[in-house]
Amino acid sequence: MSTNTSSANVSPPSQNIKKKSWFEASKAYLDPRALIMLFLGFSAGIPILLIFSSLSLWLREAGVDRSVVTMFSWAALGYSFKFIWAPLIDAVPLPFLTAWLGRRRAWMLVSQILIILAICLMASVNPSVAIDNVSHFSIFGREIEITALTFMAIGAVLLGFSSATQDIVIDAYRIELAPPDFQSVLSAVYTAGYRIGMIVAGAGALYLATYFGSNETAYSYEAWRNTYWVMAGVMGVGVATTLIIREPIREKIVENKPASDYLRLVAVFALSVIGFIFAFKELGGILPETEGVLTSFGLEVTHLLSSLAVALTIGYLLVQIGLVNKKMAYQTWIEPVVDFFRRYGSKALLLLTLIGLYRISDIVAGVISNVFYQDMGFSKTDIANAVKLVGVVMVIAGGFLGGVLAQKIRIMRAMMIGAILASITNLLFVLLTMHPASLPYMYLAVIFDNLAAGLASAVFIAFLSALTSIRFTAVQYAIFSSLMTLLPKVLGGYSGTIVDNMGYPFFFIFTALIGVPILGLIYLVDKHIVIGGNDDIYDD
């Protein structure tokens, strides 16, 4: 470890962690703060599948074209770009609510109310009728065609935005709730609650829709409407939790400014978003259509990045012309990034590299996992039982194990163990290719792979939490969590091509090997960088 004793790198308690017995480490899960994160994790896990799998099945049963169904997944892009508006969560107080609940709970409550409204808006549209229900509007001399299905899309986008906002606030709340050496426990419990929420919104929603009378051969709008109403009601768990818990951090950290300054700041963000939407729509009509998968993917990436560049340019110009105070804009969007590089200097790039690559082995392998199981001769029931039931239980168990492990040893050593297990367990799928359609070998691979993934995820979240400055909790963690999946997901998009050309055994050996350099990165970070920040403001 580094012996640097500068103020930016003073070793916090998380680095000099006192060794605990297994009983003492496990007892941490009885802490009331762990129970809080269980319920907040449940609230965070509900919305995402209401955009993805559950909504997709609803639309397909209603007879919506597959191409339209897949477009609805874009509503979840907010999860990938949440770092853009995360600074507003740190900077902007909400009228009345912030004074009543505190800055974290106020934003949490608003995001949960918006989630409920979005779910109800989606439930109010019957997709089978909405396809042919078209309205025409004229804006600035241009004719705009809007179907009733558009309102469901608006609800889905609002759900994605609100859910991503809730994630931002809950992550910030969790980091401020306890010091770095307790974050592994909170992240494990949060993950457990999140997975339970996903089960309720995924399998639970499907059971409800079937119970209310809708299936592949006999579609019922009322069944799906009632299902989404129930899901909106389930979000009451999150609302109740938000109202019961207390703020985790002293309000002296918040700097009060005139309300007009905050309104100008929000106006810059809103106008930039409008610019993004306009650019995305206009560029969509300019870019050529192509049938090649990789070419289409490249054009869509260009489409998205170009629209984002337009939005950033609009925001920059609005700041330059004085719509918002330049110092305030700098403190909101730029200073959190500068703070990170100020604290870690040139070694910040090493940390960012580790953040961007740590989960690459299991994420890349996971992209094609369901297709792999089908190719190995397993039925949908086999996959559901193994992956959706046993696999989820193992992820939760791995998260708890990771939390206990991080209580007993230093976080970087726990990170090393997680990286090794995440890589090695991919080789179990090579073994499965030698025994296709064998349930024992399938369960062997699923159990240990998910156990390793849960452990690695828990210790990694604790690591990211320790990197986050308490002054910029929301924005810095949002950046880290977005970077965490960016490269692995991009590489994962080519997993099918690798399998087609080289086969499954080579692919899983490859995913195991790309995890090896991560061990070197962990070693370098452990040797040269002291992880952590100020703990004096945390609750006991």
Q: Please give the helix or strand (H or E) that residue 258 lies within, else none.
A: none
Check if the beta carbon of residue 316 is closer than 8 Å to that of residue 336. no
What's the rounded Cα separation, in Å, for the pair 365 and 368? 6
Per-residue pLDDT of 320-365, as tens digits, reads 998 888 888 888 888 888 999 999 888 899 999 999 899 888 888 8
Per-residue pLDDT of 203-220, as tens digits, reads 888 889 888 988 777 889
DSSP 8-state symbol, 320: H
pLDDT attached to residue 167: 94
Please determine, for residue 507, whether its predicted confidence score (pLDDT) is greater than 80. yes
pLDDT attached to residue 213: 87
Query: Residue 508 — pLDDT band, cuts 50, 70, 90?
Result: very high
**Separation of CA 77 from chain center:** 10
Dihedrals phi, psi of 214, to nearest 5 degrees? -115, 135
DSSP string, 414-477: HHHHHHHHHHHTTHHHHHHHTSTT-HHHHHHHHHHHHHHHHHHHHHHHHHHHHHS-GGGHHHHH
| Residue 196 tokens, joined | 């339970």
pLDDT attached to residue 119: 96
Per-residue pLDDT of 137-161, as tens digits, reads 444 455 555 667 788 888 988 998 9
Check if the beta carbon of residue 127 is closer than 8 Å to that of residue 59. yes
Please determine, for residue 131, whether its predicted confidence score (pLDDT) is greater than 60. no
Q: Which residue type is seen at 370? A: N
269, 272, 277, 281: CA torsion to nearest 10: 180
Mean pLDDT of the chain: 82
| Residue 300 tokens, joined | 């869509």
More confident residue, 171 or 325: 171
| Residue 279 tokens, joined | 């650019």
What's the rounded Cα separation, in Å, for the pair 444 and 428? 8
Residues ≥6 apart with Cβ < 8 Å to 394: 446, 447, 448, 450, 451, 454
pLDDT attached to residue 487: 73
pLDDT attached to residue 143: 53
| Residue 499 tokens, joined | 């399998």
What's the rounded Cα separation, in Å, for the pair 231 and 201? 7
R_g (Cα) of the chain, nearest Å: 24
Dihedrals phi, psi of 145, to nearest 5 degrees? -100, 125
What's the rounded Cα separation, in Å, for the pair 410 and 14? 7
Least confident of 65-79, 112-126, 453-467: 65-79
pTM, 2 dp: 0.78
Percent pLDDT > 90 in the chain is: 33
What's the rounded Cα separation, in Å, for the pair 351 and 463? 10
DSSP string, 367-399: HTHHHHHHHTT--HHHHIIIIIIIIHHHHHHHH
Please determine, for residue 293, whether its predicted confidence score (pLDDT) is greater than 70. no
In SS3 terms, 472-510 reads as HHHHHHHHHHHHHHHHHHHHHCCHHHHHHHHCHHHHHHH
Q: How many residues does the chain have?
A: 540
Query: Residue 292 — pLDDT band, cuts 50, 70, 90?
Result: low
Check if the beta carbon of residue 452 is closer than 8 Å to that of residue 365. no
**Vertex 227, ends 226 and 232: CA angle to 5°?**
95
**β-pair partners for 137:** 144
Average pLDDT over residues 496-524: 90
Please determine, for residue 171, whether its predicted confidence score (pLDDT) is greater than 60. yes
Check if the beta carbon of residue 195 is closer than 8 Å to that of residue 390. no
| Residue 233 tokens, joined | 């009601």
Least confident of 134-143, 264-273, 418-427, 449-458: 134-143
Per-residue pLDDT of 230-271, as tens digits, reads 999 999 999 999 999 998 865 444 556 776 777 888 888 888
DSSP 8-state symbol, 235: T
Least confident of 20-34, 279-293, 402-416, 484-498: 279-293
Within 13 Å and on the Cβ side, how many CA atoms surround 148? 14
Q: Which residue type is seen at 356? A: G
**Vertex 484, ends 351 and 314: CA angle to 5°?**
95
Domains, the chain, in order of start with CATH, read: 19-254 (1.20.1250.20), 257-324 (no CATH), 346-540 (1.20.1250.20)
Spatial CA neighbour of 406 closest among 452, 464, 458, 453: 458
What's the rounded Cα separation, in Å, for the pair 419 and 412? 10
Please determine, for residue 163, whether its predicted confidence score (pLDDT) is greater than 50. yes
Check if the beta carbon of residue 178 is closer than 8 Å to that of residue 538. yes
Dihedrals phi, psi of 134, to nearest 5 degrees? -115, 135
Most confident of 2-6, 65-69, 204-208: 204-208
More confident residue, 412 or 20: 412
Spatial CA neighbour of 89 closest among 110, 119, 113: 110
Check if the beta carbon of residue 364 is closer than 8 Å to that of residue 499. no
Spatial CA neighbour of 533 closest among 8, 3, 4, 1: 8
Residues ≥6 apart with Cβ < 8 Å to 41: 170, 189, 190, 191, 192, 193, 194, 196, 197
Most confident of 15-19, 282-286, 381-385: 381-385
pLDDT attached to residue 219: 87
pLDDT attached to residue 286: 75
What's the rounded Cα separation, in Å, for the pair 92 and 106? 11
Per-residue pLDDT of 100-128, as tens digits, reads 999 899 999 999 999 999 999 999 988 88
Please determine, for residue 5, whether its predicted confidence score (pLDDT) is greater than 50. no
What's the rounded Cα separation, in Å, for the pair 293 and 497? 11
Residue owning tokens 């909790």: 473
What's the rounded Cα separation, in Å, for the pair 48 and 53? 9
| Residue 319 tokens, joined | 């700041």
Check if the beta carbon of residue 167 is closer than 8 Å to that of residue 197. no
Dihedrals phi, psi of 135, to nearest 5 degrees? -120, 150
pLDDT attached to residue 146: 60
Please determine, for residue 16, whether its predicted confidence score (pLDDT) is greater than 50. no
pLDDT attached to residue 1: 36
